[in-house]
């Protein structure tokens, strides 16, 4: 077991940390307040090669490993959680499925500009009436000659307002449940769809979260990702990777909340000494530090398994489950350490708490992660695993 980063991974960490500290942290509160898309930050991420990190060079990406991606996600999210999730969606939910399920023509057309940051992607699975029960979706994509005709509404789409490439999951055969689902790339420049309501959210306010509306939209058969009927597997395996990114986002938010609480505990004096000298505060700081480290280990293990081509669905669910709930706990304590100052916008503590909360919900709620883990361990036991 080797926890030493390679030279390349260390370079990614240093680059991401420099950018986050110098350019994201100073503007994160303003981004939160104004709710504006962090356009300049995303352009810089493109320059750094952070929008297609694990995409091979020949397809416009940085050709890095999954651990480098997780490391960068932690750093960028520590600087600005909104920027973190925009980056995560483009990498994990858009570039990754086009790389793995797309043909060369699709990779050339969409993956190259997405990985280079010339275009931005979104991933459309959830609907107004189906979130956790993804296969319960109502959207249809019915084959008609050389096209599919798409009808329905998607919901909770991160990057929905800015994205111009959409990985869309819909029923090509509504008489079947998951076996009748197919995946598509919808190019908003060629076949524009409607962008509906832009949500007014608790946190990650620099991102757009929208509904997308499709009315008799004709999309060429050449835009289908993978075989007809394979869309549910495309979506589920895509989310396995996405969950590593969101876990790393949760970790970055928690680490930033911890560092700021630690700093505050050294400066704030009560009863004649720094509050960090009191056992009550030290206990909180110790628990925060321990949980942050535990989450990082889970994330790195899931990333290593994905990189090695091993099964990692359970590991990424565990990493996201633990990291997101840990992040909520850590941010809660971070605010508590700040006392009344934590509750007002003069400090970042309340923003971290608001930003962390969504990581327990999107890309699969904690309840869904527990379901994935529980099913996986039951299968492992049935197969005679001697150690879980
Ligand atoms: N990889 C590949 N295939 C998988 C898979 C995986 N991880 N998980 C399941 N499958 C396959 C199964 O093997 C099965 O295939 P077969 O019939 O060939 O055996 C098929 O998919 C159906 O599997 P299940 O019976 O397990 O399906 P289910 O209906 O019980 O659902 C679920 C399983 C885990 C609950 C799934 O619906 C799920 O993950 N739900 C949560 C969805 C989610 O995370 N949504 C987030 C939306 S994205 C987002 O947040 C947007 C954003 O912008 C950030």
pLDDT of the chain along its 388 residues, tens only? 788 999 999 999 999 999 999 999 999 999 999 999 999 999 999 999 999 999 999 999 999 999 999 999 999 999 999 999 999 999 999 999 999 999 999 999 999 999 999 999 999 999 999 999 999 999 999 999 999 999 999 999 999 999 999 999 999 999 999 999 999 999 999 999 999 999 999 999 999 999 999 999 999 999 999 999 999 999 999 999 999 999 999 999 999 999 999 999 999 999 999 999 999 999 999 999 999 999 999 999 999 999 999 999 999 999 999 999 999 999 999 999 999 999 999 999 999 999 999 999 999 999 999 999 999 999 999 999 887 7
What span, in angstroms and rounded, lies between the C-alpha atoms of 148 and 190? 14
Q: Nearest residue CA, atom 8 of ligand 1?
A: 236
**So what CATH class is 122-229?**
mainly beta
Per the CB < 8 A criterion, the answer to whether 342 and 349 are in contact is yes
What span, in angstroms and rounded, lies between the C-alpha atoms of 142 and 213? 16
Q: Which protein residues touch ligand 1 with a CB less than 6 Å away?
A: 89, 123, 125-126, 132, 134-135, 156-158, 178, 232-233, 236-237, 239-240, 313, 362-364, 368, 371-372
Assign domain 233-382 to its CATH superfamily: Butyryl-CoA Dehydrogenase, subunit A, domain 3 (1.20.140.10)
pLDDT value of position 1: 79
Domain 7-120, CATH 1.20.1080.10 — does that match?
Answer: no
CA of 231 to the centre of ligand 1 (A): 10
pLDDT value of position 220: 98
Return the best residue to mutate from 129, 176, 233 for the ligand 1 pocket (most ligand atoms within 8 A of CB).
233
Spatial CA neighbour of 96 closest among 123, 71, 73? 123
pLDDT 10s digits, 139-162:
999 999 999 999 999 999 999 999
CA of 133 to the centre of ligand 1 (A): 8
pTM (2 decimals)? 0.98
Atom of ligand 1 minimally distant from the CA of 361:
50
Taken in order 376, 377, 380, 385, the sign of the CA dihedral is: positive
**Which residues are catalytic, by number?**
363
What span, in angstroms and rounded, lies between the C-alpha atoms of 56 and 275? 49
For the chain, give the longest Cα–Cα distance.
Answer: 79
Per the CB < 8 A criterion, the answer to whether 47 and 23 are in contact is no
CA of 126 to the centre of ligand 1 (A): 12
Secondary structure E strands in the chain: 121-124, 140-144, 147-158, 165-171, 181-187, 194-198, 209-220, 224-225, 269-270, 273-274
pLDDT value of position 84: 98
pLDDT value of position 133: 97
pLDDT value of position 116: 98
Name the residue ranges covered by the structural domains of the chain: 7-120, 122-229, 233-382
pLDDT value of position 2: 83
CA of 134 to the centre of ligand 1 (A): 7
pLDDT value of position 124: 98
């Amino acid at each position: 077991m080797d926890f030493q980063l390679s030279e390349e991974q260390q370079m990614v960490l240093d680059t991401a940390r420099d950018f986050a500290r110098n350019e994201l942290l100073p503007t994160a509160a303003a981004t939160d307040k104004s709710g504006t898309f962090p356009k300049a930050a995303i352009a810089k991420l493109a320059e750094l090669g952070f929008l297609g990190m694990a995409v091979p060079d020949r397809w416009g990406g940085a050709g890095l490993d999954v651990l480098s991606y997780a490391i960068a996600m932690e750093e960028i999210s520590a600087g600005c959680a909104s920027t973190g999730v925009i980056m995560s969606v483009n990498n994990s939910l858009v570039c990754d499925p086009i790389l793995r399920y797309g043909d060369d023509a699709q990779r050339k057309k969409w993956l190259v500009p997405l990985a280079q940051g010339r275009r931005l992607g979104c991933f459309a699975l959830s609907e107004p009436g189906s979130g956790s029960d993804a296969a319960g979706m109502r959207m249809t994509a019915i084959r008609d000659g050389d096209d599919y005709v798409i009808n329905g509404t998607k919901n909770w789409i991160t990057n929905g307002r800015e994205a111009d490439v959409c990985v869309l999951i819909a029923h090509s055969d509504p008489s079947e449940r998951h076996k009748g689902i197919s995946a598509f790339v919808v190019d908003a420049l060629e076949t524009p769809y409607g962008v509906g309501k832009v949500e007014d959210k608790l946190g990650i306010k620099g991102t757009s979260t929208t509904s997308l509306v499709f009315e008799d939209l004709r999309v060429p058969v050449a835009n289908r990702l993978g075989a007809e009927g394979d869309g549910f597997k495309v979506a589920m395996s895509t989310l396995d990777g996405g969950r590593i990114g969101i876990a790393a986002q949760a970790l970055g938010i928690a680490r930033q909340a911890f560092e700021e609480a630690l700093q505050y505990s050294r400066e704030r004096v009560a009863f004649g000494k720094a509050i960090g000298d009191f056992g009550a505060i030290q206990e909180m700081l110790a628990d925060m530090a321990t949980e942050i480290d535990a989450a990082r280990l889970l994330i790195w293990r899931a990333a290593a398994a994905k990189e090695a081509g091993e099964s990692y669905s359970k590991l990424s669910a565990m990493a996201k489950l633990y990291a997101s709930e840990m992040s909520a706990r850590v941010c809660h304590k971070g605010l508590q350490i700040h006392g009344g100052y934590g509750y007002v916008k003069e400090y970042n503590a309340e923003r971290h708490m608001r930003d962390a909360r969504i990581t327990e919900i999107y890309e699969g709620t904690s309840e869904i992660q527990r379901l994935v883990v529980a099913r996986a361990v039951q299968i492992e036991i049935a197969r005679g695993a001697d150690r879980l």
